[in-house]
Amino acid sequence: MSHAIARSGCTLLLAFHVRGDLLAQITLPVEPPIHFAIYDARSLTGPATPQLVLSLQSERAYATLGYRFEATTTTTSRTITVDITRVINDSPWHLPTIGPAWYSTPLHLETGIYQLRIRADSLVDEYRLQLGTQVIDVVGEAGALTIPVRRTYRLPPRAAYVMCSAAGFSGGLCDDFVKLVRARLGAAVDTVLGVPRRNPFRYPLPKRTGADSIPEFVIADLSKRQLSEMLTIARDFTDLFRYAQYKVGVTILLANGSRYSCIDGACKPRK
């Protein structure tokens, strides 16, 4: 439920929590364009190898979170077909935040070349998916229905993920931290193919999906000595901002599921 109040030529949108059992299930037609990406993801809650996933996200922002695409994905031989039937919101809670409709599903594929077909109503887009050991490429012109993320990078099975957060900073924080790490530890530590691996979508995907494991940087094959040095750098890095009265956090997630949270000059293991 929402109320709009017009005042001095501006509109203020007030959104409230609404119990889903007070409303009928919401269904809407599919509206192009739909962004999609195919990438490796990994759970943030425990040890796991990277899992290849396909995710869709609408260009349109809906009035509340909880909207999703009702879709099915089938794989036969070398063809992957995604059939999108409608947009639906059957969530028991309607959070007061605008956001896109989404869909995410695991793909169990070996490396190689595949045909990817995405359909909704009378619209059909076709692409060639090139699934390599280091990169994933989607080849083909964007159609009337979808817009692809052209390239994503594979995650190595053994890797440390680095994520940063800060109030009052718009970006570049993790870049500065990783520059310090690379300067201290040398060429032995690098991000995957030397590039950051950021969320390919306009909005973060909802929690409980594989996509919330997308880190800002991935560092492959971190030794115990290198981890100890990186935690020292993280302590110094967050402590520097503490004196400037900013809350800066650095989270380091290891391949075995261990997590370290660094803030205000201290790093603590987290479950």
Percent over 90 (pLDDT), the chain: 33
Mean residue pLDDT of the chain comes to 77
Q: What is the pLDDT of residue 122?
A: 94
Q: What is the pLDDT of residue 201?
A: 65
Q: What is the pLDDT of residue 198?
A: 55
Q: What is the pLDDT of residue 203?
A: 59
Q: What is the pLDDT of residue 9?
A: 34
Distance CA 90, CA 95 (A): 12
End-to-end Cα distance, the chain: 37
Residue 71 has pLDDT above 50, yes or no: yes
Residue 227 has pLDDT above 90, yes or no: no
Q: Tens of pLDDT along 228-260?
A: 988 999 999 999 888 777 788 888 887 777 888
Taking alpha carbons only, the member of 120, 157, 138, 165 closest to residue 54 is: 138
Q: What is the pLDDT of residue 115?
A: 98
Q: What is the pLDDT of residue 11?
A: 30
Distance CA 214, CA 205 (A): 10
Q: Tens of pLDDT along 12-55?
A: 333 334 444 435 578 999 999 999 999 887 665 555 667 888 99
196 token code pair? 């950051």
Per-domain residue ranges of the chain: 19-153, 159-270
User: Rounded to two decimals, what is the model's pTM?
Assistant: 0.69
Query: Is there a cis peptide before residue 33, judged by omega within 30 degrees of 0?
Result: yes
- Position 154 confidence tier, pLDDT thresholds 50, 70, 90: confident
Residue 132 has pLDDT above 90, yes or no: yes
Q: What is the pLDDT of residue 46?
A: 57
Distance CA 92, CA 164 (A): 31
* 224, burial (CB in 10 Å: exposed 0-12, middle 13-18, buried 19+): exposed
Q: What is the pLDDT of residue 155?
A: 75
At residue 13, what is the residue type? Answer: L
Distance CA 36, CA 154 (A): 16
Q: Tens of pLDDT along 47-61?
A: 566 788 899 999 998
Residue 82 has pLDDT above 90, yes or no: yes
Query: Is there a cis peptide before residue 215, judged by omega within 30 degrees of 0?
Result: no
